[in-house]
Structure 1
Amino acid sequence: MHTTARVRARRQRGAPFPITIRPTAADAMIARAIARNTAPAPEEIARTLTWGADEKVLLALAAAGWLASRGRGASLERAGNHALLVTVAASLLPHGLKLLFNQTRPDRLTVAGHANGIPISGKRDDAFPSGHALHMGALASAAATLPAGARRPIQALAVGLSLTRVMVLAHWTSDVIAGFGLGALLERLLRLWTGYPGDDPPRGKAR
């Protein structure tokens, strides 16, 4: 049975889930403005950039980073463990939440937008929360431990990639804000398990 059929059956039985979430007035206003004023070229750019926050790309990068951190000292190994665990958890959490919540993506509610280059993204009712933004919130939170010279561009990149999900109307603005916040919270909670960003133990002085 298809997912939509299962959802319809649960509704007929009066099941509490999934919960339908409706966009806010601000969400609708922003989406309408994008749909009216966009064009194929900027939409294609945004659609390309949004791959930078895709879970498959990030899982591959986290796995490569984990392998590269082996044997490089306790601090780097801890960072590699943390990055991989956070990326896996940030990939699983949105899928679970989308079983609990239904929200129609803005790209399914526009005609003018498609004429102006808006693409079709994902499943119709999987708007909340933004998985891409959840990953980026976790990245921005983890980057808070870095020096300002590295922290600021990473956090700016995380915010920018999250906003591409609004630009292509894959998500409402509130979906992106919620996803970003959930990602930051998830990263902070997982620090309790991984011990990130602990330092290498001090070495004894050479005799």
Structure 2
Amino acid sequence: MALERSRRALKLAEQHLVLLEEVAQATDADLFGNVLACSLPMIRNIGPVLDAESQGARTAAFGMWWANTRDDKRHQCIAELRNAVFKGMEEDRVQVAEAEVRVTAPEEKVTAYNPTVVTTETTRVEVKHIREGQVVDEQVITMTVPANVEDGPTVRRKWVIVGGDCDGQDLLGALRNYVEWMRDEILPEAERLLVVEG
């Protein structure tokens, strides 16, 4: 059975995920919080739409399988976050972590095999992971970087889930994982297990 409404809900969820990814690096944390409050229910909505759309076409196999999906950690994580948003508590459950990357002044090198290609090498890249204003992890690595990298710090934001089944997980990674699970596993299996109309 083709689940057209569930597929539309999936498409909407994917669009909201893209929107969240676009605003994740915004310097205005309120903007990300506002978009999250609007997008999370749309992402979570795939399951309820599937639940409603499958009524009347369920087989015994579907019923057993569908009941077991509720215990999946991906489902629990998104449900907990959605519930926090509905209660206005998303700020307690999602916090920003920052990664500050500092590149030391690179040296230019011309490669021997192609003198027109210029690469730069750096002897030191410092990465600091910052959560709630505190450095929680520091790394120093050596790597080759492109010639256009400027000296100095670059700060990248990462939104992290706090508490519950997904404590410490990257928020966008968890949301992406949920949407991909629904797209790649849940909807195809539901369509296979439901009674074909006709």
Higher helix share goes to which structure? Answer: 1
Greater strand share, structure number: 2
TM-score for the superposition, normalised by structure 2: 0.30
- For the pair shown, the structure with the greater C-alpha radius of gyration is 2
Normalised TM-score (structure 1): 0.29
